Structure 1
Amino acid sequence: MCHGWINIDKPVGISSAQAVNQVKKIFNIKKAGHIGTLDPVASGVLPIALGEATKTIPYLSCNLKAYNFTVQWGEQRSTDDVCGEIIKISAVKPEYNQINYLTKNFIGEIVQTPPLFSAIKINGIRSYKLARSGQNVDIKPRLVRIHDLKVLFIDAVNNSAEFFMLCGSGVYVRSVARDMGIALNCFGYVTKLRRVMVGNFKENGSVQITQLTANCEISSITSILYEMSGIEISEEDAKKIGNGKKIRLNNLYNLKNYDICYVTIGELPVAICSFICGYIQPMRVFNF
């Protein structure tokens, strides 16, 4: 069975869950999961964990994400992308200087309201399900961080603009397009969206699903744990960890109380652990 990570270039037209299912069939595995959901109309980097690597997903931040996207001015749509119904129109055509100046207002910590058609849960129900059924959806604004937002190209003929954005987790590109359109008094929605980076997973290292085979090389489980300390332990201690017992650590790694780390025997990962009062306590044990 395969255990590790693969950097998929998700195509337009399928959901992230469908992409995962296709990968599971190719590798003939039962367990797989992904980081960072992409809508069916979006393409790009989708990191997928295979087998025991799925146990690391809750401990990963992958806060930095990057996108290239195109905004069509002149309309606001119910979904803030090409799939929605037109709800507002405008004849205003913003110029480059206006758009470029506006982007500065979206850099830093900003308040953003996610789209009505999103996967955010409201009283346990996905927002898009409520919106599709015609119910009133009350999504609360939240603080998010955008590190960079740049104008790449202005298409004056078609009244659209292309952007690059570097941001933290939880940022909705569709909301950025919607809010820029409102600020410019011209409205706007996303017509093209491509994710080019999730943490250390980059576009130039991704592979298309159609190119995948069961013999494709995958990254190791620990390759994505770059924010954690890796600690090599003995086989004796590994058995204790495997049985759910804690072990004493000579803290040469200068871990602080409640730091998360991972332990290995050589290059073989054993568990994700927490360091508590001089001891390593297993949180998720890998089964090989």
Structure 2
Amino acid sequence: MGRKRKGRDISGWLIVDKPAGMTSTSVVNKVRWAMDAKKAGHAGTLDPEATGVLAVALGEATKTVPYITEALKAYRFTVVLGQATNTDDAEGEVIETSDLRPSDEEIKEALHQFVGDIQQVPPQFSAVKIDGERAYKRARDGEEMEIAARALFVEELVMISRPDTDHVELEMICGKGGYVRSIARDLGETLGCKGHVLRLHRIWSGPFETSDGITVEQIDEMAKTSALDAYLKPLEVGLSDLPELRTTPEGAVKLRNGNPGMVFAADAEYGDEAWASLDGEPIAVGIYKAGELHPKRVFVRAEDPGVE
């Protein structure tokens, strides 16, 4: 029998306004400690020097993480023009420079190339795996790798401001797996002036916005108290992009046992992914077929037998 995890059976989302200088994992560990939670995870890594929305899932909400990871996200970032770095951000070493400075119109025109379904090569210093090893570990050893391009959907990329000739502020809405550092690098290459990210802030992630965020300082102040629980958002917020289907008490029992259960569908069609609820409580996520939900993930209540 496996070891029983210590902590509370608490489920939901805590949205953290991540500060610069902390890893996403460090934020998750702090939240887990502060809320004495058994289980915690995040929906989308932010680089250590990046700031903004980091959605931390607790307990059963971790089962909804994939739906936030797949959701669109928005970033505001500043690009330094005239310098390329080995990390594609300000933390790295400058490896190339250029005296060329594009005009505002040239920048706006170049941005069109990065909208829609594009192919993007992750930075050398990234968490992608190359032959089973993280790229950043090999990059730290001075190795230069061939990293395969990956598909990325960019819904929008616009220029917000031009503080001076050396800097441009951009805003991007994109799908899963986007590297803002790669956008800055590739934009600099396209313009012929080189470029890297100076500052990066995630404005929103799926249904979660900066205004939902709580600071690390607030977490420390309210740690181990019920005051922190008041900031917890229900786990079903992570399912906001899926149709909600009502079930019956009998259907809920079947679903909780991993079997198809009857649901009342209003917005779902055959084959759609959806979630079932009973009296507002989330029961399961699954595939809707002919009046039933076929569960893929079942939400366990703390009082249910066998909960660990």
Task: Give TM-score scaled by structure 1 length.
Answer: 0.91
For the pair 1:260 / 2:273, whether they are aligned, the reply is yes
CA distance in 1, matches of 2:260, 2:173: 40
Equivalent residue, structure 1, for 2:304 = none
Equivalent residue, structure 2, for 1:282 = 295
Q: Secondary structure at the match of 2:106?
A: helix
Judge conservation of contact 1:148–1:166 (CA < 8 Å) in 2. Answer: yes
User: Aligned in 2, Cα 1:252/1:231: closer, same or farther, shift over 3 Å?
Assistant: closer
Q: Deviations over 1:80-126 (max 9, x none)?
A: 00111221111222232322222222222222211111111223322
Identity of aligned residues (%): 38
The Cα shift of 1:277 comes to 5.1
* Amino acid paired to 1:187: K
Judge conservation of contact 2:246–2:265 (CA < 8 Å) in 1. Answer: no
Equivalent residue, structure 1, for 2:81 = 73
Equivalent residue, structure 2, for 1:146 = 154
For the pair 1:102 / 2:110, whether they are aligned, the reply is yes
- Of 97, 105, 122, which aligns to 1:114? 122
* Amino acid paired to 1:98: E
Q: Secondary structure at the match of 2:47?
A: coil
Q: Secondary structure at the match of 2:276?
A: strand
Judge conservation of contact 1:177–1:190 (CA < 8 Å) in 2. Answer: yes
- Of 81, 91, 100, which aligns to 1:83? 91
- Of 183, 193, 196, which aligns to 2:203? 196
CA distance in 1, matches of 2:146, 2:96: 20
Q: Gaps (5+ residues) in structure 2?
A: 1-8, 302-308
- Pairs within 5 Å for 1:138-177: 138-156=146-164, 159-177=166-184
Equivalent residue, structure 2, for 1:4 = 12
- Pairs within 5 Å for 1:123-138: 123-138=131-146
The Cα shift of 1:219 comes to 1.1
CA distance in 2, matches of 1:110, 1:252: 36
- Of 201, 211, 216, which aligns to 1:209? 216
Judge conservation of contact 1:62–1:198 (CA < 8 Å) in 2. Answer: no
Judge conservation of contact 1:238–1:270 (CA < 8 Å) in 2. Answer: yes
User: Aligned in 2, Cα 1:147/1:244: closer, same or farther, shift over 3 Å?
Assistant: closer
How big is the alpha-carbon RMSD for the aligned residues of Structure 1 and Structure 2? 2.0
* Amino acid paired to 2:79: V
* Amino acid paired to 1:4: G
For the pair 1:246 / 2:260, whether they are aligned, the reply is yes
- Count, aligned residues: 286
CA distance in 1, matches of 2:167, 2:60: 44
Q: Gaps (5+ residues) in structure 1?
A: none
Judge conservation of contact 2:252–2:261 (CA < 8 Å) in 1. Answer: no
Which runs of at least 4 in structure 1 moved beyond 3 Å after TM superposition? 59-62, 251-258, 276-279
* Amino acid paired to 2:183: V
Q: Secondary structure at the match of 1:119?
A: coil
The Cα shift of 1:24 comes to 0.6
CA distance in 1, matches of 2:245, 2:290: 16
Q: Deviations over 1:42-86 (max 9, x none)?
A: 000111111111011134454321111111122111110011122
Judge conservation of contact 2:68–2:206 (CA < 8 Å) in 1. Answer: no
Equivalent residue, structure 1, for 2:4 = none
CA distance in 1, matches of 2:98, 2:144: 25
User: Aligned in 2, Cα 1:149/1:282: closer, same or farther, shift over 3 Å?
Assistant: closer
* Amino acid paired to 2:101: K
- Of 219, 226, 250, which aligns to 1:236? 250
Judge conservation of contact 1:117–1:128 (CA < 8 Å) in 2. Answer: yes
Equivalent residue, structure 1, for 2:192 = 185
For the pair 1:24 / 2:37, whether they are aligned, the reply is no
CA distance in 1, matches of 2:159, 2:254: 55
Q: Secondary structure at the match of 1:207?
A: coil
* Amino acid paired to 2:135: S
